[in-house]
Structure formats: C-alpha cells, structure tokens
C-alpha cells in the first residue's frame, strides 16, 4: 500500500454498533438538530455528537450532512435509516415480550407434592393465597415422593413437598415436618375397634395392602424389625393412594400410612390409629433445585405451608413441625 493510501485508509475501531448508537442515529434523523435530539434522548449534546461520530467511524462513512442551520441525512444515511428503525422495533418488542413473560412468571408457581400434603395442607394455604393474589396461577403435580423429586430435579416445578430417599447432588432438602406411622382401615375393622394400644405385631394375620416400593412409606415399613409376614409379603400392592383407599373402603385389608394422611371424622369410612413398638416416623421436606433461586411467590407459598403445618402440629400429637 502506498503512503497516500495509508493516509486515506479508515482507521480501525475497537467498538461495535450498540442500541445506544442506533437510538442516537434515529433521534438525530428525526429532529435534524443535535440540540433537539439530545433533549429527546435525555443526553448532553457533546455526548450525542461523540456517539454519532463513533457510529460513522464504525460504518466508515458520513451519515449526516451538517450545516449551520440543519442536519440532513446523506444518501448512506437514507439507506441505513429503515434498517436502524427495524432493528430498534425488533429490540423493543423483544424486551416487551421478556417483561410480559417475567411478569406472568412471577404469578405462576409449579408445585410437586405428595398426596397427604396435597389434600391436607395445600387447600387451606391456596385458599388464602388466591384472595390475596387474584392473578396467581398454581400448577399442582401430585404423586409419590419419587415423582416429586424427579419433577424438581428436571425443573418441571419451582419446588416440591415430599420425602428424601437419599442425598441428591441436584436437590436441596429442608426439613418441614414429621408424622407418625399408623394403621389405616375401615371403621368397622377389628383393629380399629380394638380398645388396646396397637403394635406392629398386631397386624399379623390380617390382609395387608402395601404401597409400591417407590413411595415414601414402603422404605419406612421395611425398616421395622420383626414385621409380620402378612406385611412383608402383602396380599395386595397399590402404587397410588386413590387405589389404596378404594380397596380399604371396600373392606379389603388394612394398610399403614402417616398420620397427616387422614382425619378421623365420623362421616369418613376410613379410620387411623397410631402404631407403636416401635414408633416409626415419616419425614417430609421442602425440596428445591440446588443453585436455583425461588421466586417471591414460591417463597410465600413455602412460608404459608410452614405456618399451616405448625398450626396442625399444635393440635395433633402425632405430627411435629420442624422449625428453622
């Protein structure tokens, strides 16, 4: 390259076109005055002048013709104008869509929950929430504890309420409450009508309906020493509480369940009695994704669930709330 060509070559720049450059260009093209354009942008005139100069350095040509009375677009500026307008419109629309999605996200909460919490705690909690937050949308996914952990781990929900199987590198487990295991059977079953305190050994000789191994109660029951054979090898096995309760209500066998699972009201066909010797507890946790920040609404739901658990535990000797 000759010395004259080196002198006329456009010097390299170390910056790229930004939204700030495009907004400055459009404002100056509209107002045709550095003073009026700077006022519209809430910027100083020297700052606007520098921004336009940077943009012209980047594109390698003048975009405006400056006169003493006016500022007009050059032919290159006229060509660039519709491109800049389209880019700004697309950018502003994208920002608007993000804000709308974020706003909707704040009012939408996904919860995975085990059956007892879903039926005994959440209805009371959500009733108060809906009156306080009329725009709230809650997606409930009920299932066993393995389902709850899977949904939280895969980010299908914001948080979960269930039991812990083992330590999980992806999940945080915060203690919520524990409740005692007991017998669940129809109101007219001999074990329900018995006046003596019940032991696990008293289940011998009665048809037992067990829950599948991936539920929280299965591992708890298997840890009880000297279980009757009818419990170790149950005649029936169910994977959902709906099926389990249907069998019990028809008079087919008995089962074990945590205390929170049922309230002994006279109009309900099933009754609960605590089992002793030994006493066994189910532990329930708030389950969240490790490293993920909960939304304010998810935090509010968790706070209200804790308050409801504390209220229930205060009236029920077989349920103990965990305090943080």
- pLDDT tens for each residue of 253-287: 999 999 998 877 667 899 999 999 999 999 999 99
* Residue 102, pLDDT score: 62
* Residue 292, pLDDT score: 86
CATH code assigned to 109-321: 3.40.190.290
Report how far residue 87's alpha carbon sits from residue 211's, in angstroms, rounded to the nearest whole number. 59
Continuous segment of H or E residues that includes residue 169: none
Start-end ranges of CATH 3.40.190.290 in the chain?
A: 109-321
- pLDDT tens for each residue of 55-84: 999 999 999 998 877 899 999 999 999 999
Q: What is the mean pLDDT of residues 233-256?
A: 88
Fold of the domain spanning 3-103: Arc Repressor Mutant, subunit A (1.10.10)
Ranked by mean pLDDT, the top range of 13-27, 178-192, 232-246 is 178-192
CA distances from 287 to 6, 101, 171, 202, 294 (A): 66, 25, 7, 35, 11
Query: If pLDDT is split at 50, 70 and 90, which confidence band does 100 have?
Result: low
Query: If pLDDT is split at 50, 70 and 90, which confidence band does 4 have?
Result: very low
Mean pLDDT of the chain: 87
Q: Which of 253, 273, 249 is nearest to 261 (CA)?
A: 273
Start-end ranges of CATH 1.10.10.10 in the chain?
A: 3-103
């Amino acid at each position: 390259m000759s010395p004259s060509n080196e002198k006329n070559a456009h010097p390299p720049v170390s910056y790229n076109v930004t939204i700030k450059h495009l907004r400055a260009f459009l404002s100056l093209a509209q107002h045709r005055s550095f003073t009026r354009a700077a006022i519209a942008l809430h910027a100083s005139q020297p700052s606007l002048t520098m921004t336009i100069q940077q943009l012209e350095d980047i594109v390698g040509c003048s975009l405006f013709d400056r006169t003493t009375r006016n500022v007009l677009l050059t032919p290159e500026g006229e060509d660039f104008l519709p491109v800049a307008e389209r880019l700004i419109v697309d950018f502003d629309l994208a920002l608007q869509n993000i804000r709308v999605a974020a706003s909707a996200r704040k009012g939408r909460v996904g919860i995975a929950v085990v059956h007892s919490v879903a039926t005994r705690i959440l209805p009371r909690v959500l009733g108060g929430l809906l009156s306080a937050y009329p725009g709230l949308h809650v997606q409930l996914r009920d299932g066993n504890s393995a389902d709850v952990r899977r949904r939280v781990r895969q980010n299908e929900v914001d948080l979960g309420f269930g039991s812990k199987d083992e330590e999980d590198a992806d999940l945080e487990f915060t203690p919520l409450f524990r409740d005692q295991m007991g017998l669940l059977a129809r109101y007219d079953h001999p074990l329900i009508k018995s006046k003596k305190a019940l032991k696990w050994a008293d289940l011998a000789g009665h048809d037992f309906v067990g829950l599948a191994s991936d539920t929280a109660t299965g591992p708890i029951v298997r840890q009880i020493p000297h279980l009757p054979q009818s419990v170790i090898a149950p005649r029936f096995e169910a994977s959902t509480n709906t099926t389990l309760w249907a069998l019990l209500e028809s008079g087919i066998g008995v089962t074990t369940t945590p205390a929170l699972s049922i309230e002994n009201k006279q109009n309900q066909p099933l009754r609960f009695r605590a089992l002793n010797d030994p006493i066994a507890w189910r532990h329930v946790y708030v389950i969240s994704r490790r490293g993920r920040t909960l939304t304010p609404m998810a935090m509010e739901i968790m706070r209200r669930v804790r308050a409801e658990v504390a209220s229930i535990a205060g009236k029920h000797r077989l349920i103990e709330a965990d305090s943080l």
